[in-house]
């Protein structure tokens, strides 16, 4: 690992869980990943996954993770409770809740599995993107803290902050390089968080910030722990797009590719919007 | 509604739930939607959603549904337990488990919301497909019962049942018309089930049936109850595809469009495979 990478990365601090009895962990929100009104959803997803990753009886690697954002998470302490719904020979099913003083703020489920080599085939094509070095990083100074924890280098669909008319929506697709900042060796915790780094498509399409918030996020992991570890801290290629904005909700999908063209994760989310 | 539509549709019988106390329903698997080794996953998804739809304190329409298939569901009775994780002013979060004698067979979560008219925009393009009447229905006689409950008219990517070499995978995409058989007015229950009618992409790509089973399914609903009701029993346009098959799992995504080009639902699933 690059010697410039700190021993204790902000993401590891933000996703630190303290065991607090059978199926119970406590943690604290991190100012380093603060979003507008609460913690960045990616860190919440990473925390829910980490509760299962940290469970002593955990089997294999995560395959699927769904997180439902029930209420804003307040700054401070929270408790994650985790239930092993079922363990089979090669799969394991978990459900989680994240609670604070005023009730449940998030629920989640995860499927873990022992992965092994099988016939493989990748019908999806890795998008063509200019080299990382040739693109400028998004300027994040003065923006929400979480944005400063990622290096985003857009080839297409950068946020312009130029408001568009209702009748003239901008393109919803982005193509970019994305990496933890500071760099961090890839694992499931960081990949779960990276899957939520694609700026709300609504902001892009409307050219301005409007009230919006993710209500549900599902991420599929398409590689085992060894494949992720082999990535080290190299930037990933990201693609994000939306299908439809209607009646207060829109969907958003994302792909995360290795520089070598291996699809590591795909993700979908549904997002509330007000106007 | 068409007078040829029976008053009690097989899907309504298959998703009938009997209240059995606070947050508890009982039901029975239906032979009419039997798959190879258990009930068709679409009906399980519909049942999980229906438990929330039937809950007296239910708020609004479903926006997101995730179902995790933990173990094969045996023929016979099951219990669904449902928990209201959080209710806000305009959103409501549910979690469910489906149990049989030998433990939890499925878990689920759903987000409901009061939907209202907002700015709307549909970046996704409805695929071009020949008219329903011009395409032949898939022959389902002698196949698993659930397949006989749907009319599938393929324009592209029909199942060929012609085995392909490992090194020569077929295309993973299908484009088709899909409808309940017999016809049934569209609602969230049937849409949740329709989202799982896209034949396992692995069978298509390999040209043969191989051991495989969905472990997690997420569906987003992009329309309110009134929009679905206005569809009546008209066939929908369906598209399905996969991104990657690797280390025992692959993903599968699907879109369900109205004939008028409105995206009604999108869905993703991750599927276990053996070989």
A151 in contact with B, Cβ within 8 Å: no
Chain A, 83-122: which have a CB under 8 Å from a chain B CB?
Answer: 85-86, 88, 91, 93, 95, 97, 103-105, 107, 109, 111, 113, 115-122
pLDDT at A3 over 70: no
Predicted confidence band of residue B1 (pLDDT cuts 50, 70, 90): very low
pLDDT at B79 over 70: yes
pLDDT at B91 over 80: yes
* Interval B97-132: pLDDT, tens: 999 999 999 999 999 999 999 999 999 999 999 999
| CB contacts, 8 Å: B70 with chain A | 85-86, 88, 91, 93
Q: What's the N-to-C CA distance of chain A in angstroms?
A: 46
d(C-alpha A191, C-alpha A196), whole Å: 9
Contact yes or no for A255 and B243 at CB 8 A: yes
Strands (E), chain A: 18-19, 24-28, 61-69, 77-87, 91-100, 103-113, 150-156, 174-180, 212-221, 236-241, 245-246, 249-257, 263-273
Answer for the pair A185, A229: CB distance below 8 angstroms, yes or no: yes
pLDDT recorded at residue A247: 97
Question: How many whole angstroms from its chain centre is CA B184?
Answer: 15
Q: Calculate mean pLDDT across residues B183-195.
A: 98
Give me the torsion for CA of A234, B241, B169, B69, rounded to 10°. 90
DSSP code for B129:
-
Contact yes or no for A116 and B248 at CB 8 A: yes
Question: Is A168 exposed, middle or buried, given 0-12, 13-18 or 19+ CB atoms closer than 10 A?
Answer: exposed
Answer for the pair A92, A111: CB distance below 8 angstroms, yes or no: yes
Q: Calculate mean pLDDT across residues A66-73.
A: 98
pLDDT recorded at residue A160: 83
Question: How many whole angstroms from its chain centre is CA A248?
Answer: 22
* Interval B219-266: pLDDT, tens: 999 999 999 999 999 999 999 999 999 999 999 999 999 999 999 999
Which residue is listed with tokens 């488990």? B97
| CB contacts, 8 Å: B218 with chain A | 66, 216, 218, 268
Predicted confidence band of residue A275 (pLDDT cuts 50, 70, 90): confident
Q: Where are the alpha helices (DSSP H) in B4-115?
A: 10-14, 41-53
Q: Calculate mean pLDDT across residues A147-171.
A: 94
pLDDT at B162 over 80: yes
How many CB pairs below 8 A link A and B?
A: 215
d(C-alpha A72, C-alpha A150), whole Å: 22
Closest CA to B47 of B151, B144, B188: B188
Give me the torsion for CA of B173, B179, B182, B183, rounded to 10°. 180
Q: Calculate mean pLDDT across residues B212-217.
A: 97
- Percent of all residues in chain A with a pLDDT value above 90, rounded to a whole number: 93
Predicted confidence band of residue B161 (pLDDT cuts 50, 70, 90): confident
pLDDT at A5 over 90: no
pLDDT recorded at residue A7: 64
Predicted confidence band of residue A171 (pLDDT cuts 50, 70, 90): very high
pLDDT at A111 over 50: yes
Chain A, 250-269: which have a CB under 8 Å from a chain B CB?
Answer: 251, 255, 263, 266, 268
CA distance A257 to chain B (A): 11
CA distance A244 to chain B (A): 4
- Residue of B68, B87, B103 to mutate, interface with A, max A Cβ within 10 Å: B68
Tokens representing A166 are 């209702």
Give me the torsion for CA of A50, B48, A72, A111, rounded to 10°. 10
Tokens representing B85 are 């994780």
Contact yes or no for B248 and A88 at CB 8 A: no
pLDDT at A9 over 70: yes
pLDDT recorded at residue A212: 95
- Percent of all residues in chain B with a pLDDT value above 90, rounded to a whole number: 94
Asked if this assembly's ipTM is beyond 0.90, the reply is yes
Greatest distance between any 2 Cα atoms in chain B: 55
**Average pLDDT of the residues of chain A:** 96
Chain A, 45-74: which have a CB under 8 Å from a chain B CB?
Answer: 63-64, 66, 68, 70-71
Q: Which helix (H) or strand (E) holds B230?
A: helix B225-231
Contact yes or no for B222 and A241 at CB 8 A: no
pLDDT at A1 over 50: no
* Interval A192-206: pLDDT, tens: 999 999 999 999 999
Choose the weakest-confidence range: A104-108, A189-193, A209-213: A209-213
Per DSSP, the residues of A190-258 read HHHHHTT-S--HHHHHHTS--SEEEEEEEEEE-S-HHHHHHHTT--EEEEEE-S-EETTEEEEEEEEE-
Answer for the pair A111, A96: CB distance below 8 angstroms, yes or no: no
Q: Which chain A residue's Cα is nearest to B93?
A: A70
**Average pLDDT of the residues of chain B:** 96
Cα atoms in the 13 Å half-sphere on the side-chain side of B115: 23
Q: Calculate mean pLDDT across residues A92-103.
A: 97
Predicted confidence band of residue B4 (pLDDT cuts 50, 70, 90): low
Nearest by CB to A66, from B109, B241, B274: name it. B109
pLDDT recorded at residue A6: 54
* Interval B8-34: pLDDT, tens: 999 999 999 999 999 999 999 999 999
Tokens representing B134 are 């011009």
| CB contacts, 8 Å: B66 with chain A | 66, 109, 216, 218
Q: Which chain A residue's Cα is nearest to B123?
A: A243
Cα atoms in the 13 Å half-sphere on the side-chain side of B208: 9
CA distance B109 to chain A (A): 8
Q: Which helix (H) or strand (E) holds A148?
A: helix A145-148
SS in 3 state form for B79-103?
EEEEEEEEECCCEEEEEEEEEECCE
Put residue B193 in one of left, alpha, beta given phi > 0 → left and psi -120 to 50 → alpha.
Answer: alpha
pLDDT recorded at residue A4: 55
pLDDT at A20 over 70: yes
């Amino acid at each position: 690992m690059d010697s410039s990478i700190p021993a204790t990365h902000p993401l590891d601090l933000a996703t630190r869980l303290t065991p607090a009895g059978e199926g119970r962990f406590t943690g604290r929100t991190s100012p380093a990943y603060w979003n507008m009104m609460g913690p960045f959803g990616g860190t919440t997803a990473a925390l829910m996954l980490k509760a299962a990753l940290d469970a002593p009886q955990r089997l294999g690697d995560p395959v699927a993770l769904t997180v439902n954002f029930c209420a804003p998470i307040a700054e401070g302490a929270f408790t994650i409770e985790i239930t092993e719904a079922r363990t089979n020979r090669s799969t394991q099913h978990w459900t989680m809740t994240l609670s604070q003083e005023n009730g449940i703020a998030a629920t989640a489920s995860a499927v873990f599995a022992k992965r092994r080599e099988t016939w493989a085939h990748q019908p999806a094509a890795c998008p063509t993107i200019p080299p990382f070095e040739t693109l400028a990083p998004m300027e994040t100074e003065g923006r929400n803290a979480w944005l400063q924890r990622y290096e985003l280098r857009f080839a297409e669909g950068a946020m312009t902050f130029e408001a568009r008319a209702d009748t003239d929506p901008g393109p919803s697709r982005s193509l970019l390089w994305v990496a933890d900042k500071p760099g961090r060796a890839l694992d499931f915790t960081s990949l779960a968080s990276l899957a939520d780094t694609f700026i709300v498509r609504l902001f892009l399409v409307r050219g301005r910030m409007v009230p919006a918030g993710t209500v549900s996020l599902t991420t599929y992991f398409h590689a085992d722990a060894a494949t992720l570890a082999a990535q080290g801290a190299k930037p990933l290629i990201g693609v994000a797009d939306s299908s439809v904005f209607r009646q207060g909700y829109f969907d958003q999908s994302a792909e995360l590719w290795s520089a070598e063209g291996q699809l590591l994760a795909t993700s979908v989310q549904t997002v509330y919007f007000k106007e």
